[in-house]
A and B are shown apart, each in its own frame.
Chain A
């Protein structure tokens, strides 16, 4: 089925580093959502974006809804060990169905 292009696929980070990931689509979306999933658990909603150009923060997390409505990015500042997990983006299409990215896996460098 349809899927968003989410990159990078995985990231190796050191504690304290800033992280950036993004999602792009060939279609326009009216809502972008960012989720984090820990192993064996369901995804947890981090940030919801509803307007083109909107920039929203949630603690150390910042996400933006692209002006073209075809992309979104998520930044994490000053990463900590509990940031490890898989981050998913999702866009709500014209049929009100959520379309998902394949995920970005965040790993702490030893």
Chain B
């Protein structure tokens, strides 16, 4: 069974640009969450999608947005990039939304803003 796939693995963007990151969950998983991780920091929750609906949202500005498609694949978009957006962006998939749910992570997309 394939794991969570995130593309691209590495990305370099210029300040002010926008970027779209992609996540394909484990087959059969319907919940996808996104996290930002900066060097030496823990995981900061961005948002979670289940059945194409955003179920939870973290404390990030509106420049960060996401969506989920009918096949459970998800994308997140960051507009007007800032230097501080440089981070490892992690996607996690779960079978469903709710109690007893375990999250399985992809390898992440390393975004560098210059």
Contact = CB atoms under 8 A, between A and B. Distances in A.
Contact of A98 (B4, B88, B103, B104): B103
Interface residues of A, number: 25
Given A96-B55, A96-B56, A98-B45, A42 B106 contact: yes
Interface string A4-46: 0000000000000000000000000011010100001111110
Interface stretch (B12-20, B36-44, B65-73, B75-83): B36-44
A59 interface: no
A33 B58 CA distance: 19
A42 B90 contact: yes
Interface of B, secondary structure class, is loop
Nearest to B48: A97
Interface of B: 4, 33, 41-45, 48, 55-56, 58-59, 88, 90, 92, 97-108, 110
Across the A-B interface, the 9 shortest Cβ-Cβ residue pairs: A42-B105, A102-B42, A97-B56, A100-B43, A43-B105, A100-B42, A42-B108, A48-B102, A42-B90
